Structures are given as C-alpha cells and as structure tokens.
Amino acid sequence: MAEQTVTVFGPALELMKSVKSPEGEMLTKPFLDVCRNVLPVIDKFGSSMALVKSDVGGNISRLDAKYDSDPSANSLLYDIVRAEVAAKTAKGSSSCSNGMLWLTRAMDFLVELFRNLNDHSDWTMSQCATAAYTSTLKKYHGWIASTAFTVCDDSFCVGYECWL
C-alpha cells in the first residue's frame, strides 16, 4: 500500500470537496472552513505574512458572524450578497460583500504564491511573492499599498526559510 504524504494543505484540500451544494452553489460555512484552514499554512511563513493573515482572519470573522446570525438565510454566499445588494449596503467598506471580495482576492494571491513556489524552484521567496502580488492584488491597490508590499516582501524570505 502506498504511503500518503501529509502536508499543511491537507485539511483545506479535504474541506474543498464540500464547498458546493449539489446545485453547484457556494455554501457559506464550508467555504469559510476552507479559508480558516489556510490560516495555519500562512503561519508557516512567520511574521512576514502577519498582515495577510490578519486580513484573511478578519474577513472570515465578519462572514462567520453574518452566517451565525441566521444560518438558514445565509447558507449560500450568494444569499449574503443578494441581501446586501437589496439593502443597498453591499458597497460599504464593512459589508460582508466587501469582506468576501477581499477574502477571495487574498485566496487568489495565496494560491498564486503557492503555485510559484512549486513551479519556480529557482526563484527566491521574494520573487514568488512579488509575481503573485503583481498578477493578483496589485491592480486593486493604490501606490501606497503597492509600495508597502514591495518593502515587506523582502522580509518574506525569513519566514519562508523557517518553513522549509
């Protein structure tokens, strides 16, 4: 019998199987559980990813609170967005729609970062992070946020080296 390799991605990958309803709709609680299980992976990078972890965790908490307020009415991610659009609150900075938007953007960044780490063994951590940022988040950030990332990504290597 072949030995199965256990990775830090295991719990999140296992939960991915249950994020969609039989009709193909995104289920709120399972989606948030997958995102929550990525947080320990982010921890492996050390303090250099503290801001990303804080942002992801805050958006998970915001959506968790909304779900917990009425699980049957908020069982689908689309239901949350639809209700906020109807109430004309979806565009607010503290809306769940905004939280979901930034949570999915952060997940896109992390997936791209992990893909770069896997596909480009000759790249430094800084190169992997910069390429991931450029292809996912940079277009949504202003000059100040982009500059802050450039300053931070050199410290990325410290946390990454500890992970290896």
10-residue averages of pLDDT along the chain (164 residues)? 61 77 94 90 79 90 97 96 96 94 91 90 86 86 55 44 32
- Domain residue limits at 118: 9-160
The candidate with the shortest Cα–Cα distance to 108, out of 141, 78, 133, is 133
pLDDT for the residue 2: 54
* Total domains in the fold of the chain: 1
pLDDT for the residue 119: 92
Report residue 121: phi and psi, to 5°: -65, -15
Q: What is the pTM assigned to this prediction?
A: 0.78
Q: How far apart are the C-alpha atoms of 40 and 44, rounded to whole Å?
A: 7
pLDDT for the residue 154: 47
Whether 3 maps to a domain, the answer reads no
Contact 159, 48 (CB under 8 A): yes
Whether 1 maps to a domain, the answer reads no
CATH of the domain at 91: 1.10.3520.10
Whether 26 maps to a domain, the answer reads yes
Whether 2 maps to a domain, the answer reads no
